Amino acid sequence: MSMDDQLARLREVMHRLRRECPWDAQQTHRSLVTYLVEETGEVVDAIEAGDDDDLREELGDLLLQVYFHAEIAAQQGRFTLDDVARGIADKLVRRHPYVFGDGEVPDDLNSTWEARKRAEKGRSSSLEGIAESLSVVARATKVASRARNHRVPVDLPDAPLASSEVGEGIISLVVRAQAHGIDADQAARDALRALEQRVAAAESDVG
């Protein structure tokens, strides 16, 4: 059976489950969030510590979430799985004119990607569109990346360091904070908010 046949089979399996399984039939986008987060974490675990069988299985579980959410939306007449696939394919083609057109490969791919995204979405700030649900470390990384790629005139540390220093340094600070009754996660969120305010202020000054 070809890959297209298997994808069509999965779509039919999901369609039937929504009709005939009481549990699947009552799920909503919101009720599935916890499973989406869990399955994403398990994919990360498989990449970092598993083998090909683990990764194949976990990618399948994550793919199920995409099909599940699309099936819910299709039942409500909002959009279909084809709409989801068409949207991401169109986006990839649009943002890679040097692959699908006659454009030149940009010198700075990250900055060019961010510029195209910003123009498409009509965003006025580099901070727009960063998921609020990200962990503080993931969000801080995204804020720094956006600020640099958008060339926001804000001073960001950039002294070289090794990966091991990062991990050990973060854990050391968390452990020290715990010893003194400090909520490291809250402290990091406060510092991140301060950084976001600095970025926003710098963008405002430029604008």
Mean pLDDT, all residues of the chain: 93
Is 131's pLDDT higher than 70?
yes
Q: What is the pLDDT of residue 108?
A: 87
Q: Judge whether 192 and 143 are in contact, CB under 8 Å.
A: yes
pLDDT tier for residue 161 given thresholds of 50, 70 and 90: very high
Q: Over pLDDT 70: what percentage of the chain?
A: 98
pLDDT tier for residue 112 given thresholds of 50, 70 and 90: confident
pTM: 0.77
Least trusted range by pLDDT, from 29-33, 117-121, 142-146, 171-175: 117-121
Q: What is the pLDDT of residue 4?
A: 80
In CATH, which of 1.10.287.1080, 3.40.50.720, 3.10.180.10, 1.10.260.40 is domain 3-94?
A: 1.10.287.1080
The widest CA-to-CA distance across the chain, in whole angstroms, is 60
Is 106's pLDDT higher than 80?
yes
Domain boundaries along the sequence of the chain: 3-94, 97-206
Is 207's pLDDT higher than 70?
no
**Tokens standing for residue 159:** 């002294």
pLDDT tier for residue 204 given thresholds of 50, 70 and 90: confident
Residues 6 or more apart whose Cβ sits within 8 Å of residue 14: 64, 67, 68, 71
